[in-house]
Amino acid sequence: MKRPSIYLLPERIRISNENFTHFCLLLKHNSKDYNPVACKSIFRINLGNKLLLIFMFYNVHTHRQSRGKDVLSIENRYENFDSDLSGIYVSLGLHPWYLDAGHLEAQLGILAKNARRPEVLAVGECGLDRITDTDWTLQVTAFRKQIALAQHIHKPVIVHCVKAFNEVLSELKNISVPVVFHGVNKKWSVVQPVIDAGYFLSFGKAILSDHEYILETFRATPLERVFLETDDAELDIREIYKSAARIKNIPEKEIVLQLEKNFNNVFKQ
């Protein structure tokens, strides 16, 4: 029997409760694509004896709470790593802006202790920033240790990179877990080495602008390497999806389907 795949479902499909339960069991026991996050990514509305299934919109990096039952967000935390995470998914990491040389080892210890929690889908954001006042050597040390942590616990890394693409790529050269560069707003010539290295690019409010160089970067990025985000902006991720479809000149459904597949491939649990 052909293995069922959550990715092959149409955007909306109505099935009976009994068949839906059967489908989930088949997906869990017979499909290599199954993971618990994906199962929670289906929005179900009871319609009598029917269910309306709607694909989720994935926001892989935000500093705000998720809005809408059809949005699955990864909320970023750069402090208070031991806080309650009930009902949410997060990434935990030491941001280069907020590093404290006198307490780095303690910060890393608390991070390592909490990064294993099932609600934590990634390590980060972490990385290198040429603009911040934080000591460069301290940034490199913290970044290397977080890369090592992600490798050890087999979770992806969400990268903060400002005017340091060559240096960040050098630090990542031996990594084996997925890597997502967030907040991309650069020319294609700058970020193409990230794609060539096999990593992912996450785009946010930049693709809502009219800057042609950013739009060209998004057009040039293979959809299989794309994520979308809102970061710290007061935006609706659905609007970013609509803009992404318009820029790529493809149906929004194609964006939804491919980004769900990307999410399930990268953020495995």
Question: Two tokens at 28?
Answer: 């869990």
Look at strands 50-54 and 12-16 and give their pairing. Answer: antiparallel
Q: How do the pLDDT tens digits run along the chain, 269 residues long?
A: 232 333 333 334 444 444 444 344 434 433 444 444 444 444 455 555 555 556 789 999 999 887 678 899 999 999 999 999 999 999 999 999 999 999 999 999 999 999 999 999 999 999 999 999 999 999 999 999 999 999 999 999 999 999 999 999 999 999 999 999 999 999 999 999 999 999 999 999 999 999 999 999 999 999 999 999 999 999 999 999 999 999 999 999 999 999 999 999 999 76
In residues, how long is the chain?
269
Give every strand in the sheet of 50-54, ordered side by side.
12-16, 50-54, 43-47
Contacts of 101 (CB under 8 A, 6+ apart): 135, 138
Question: Two tokens at 163?
Answer: 């005017």
Domain with CATH 3.20.20.140 in the chain: 57-266
* Fold that domain 57-266 belongs to in CATH: TIM Barrel (3.20.20)
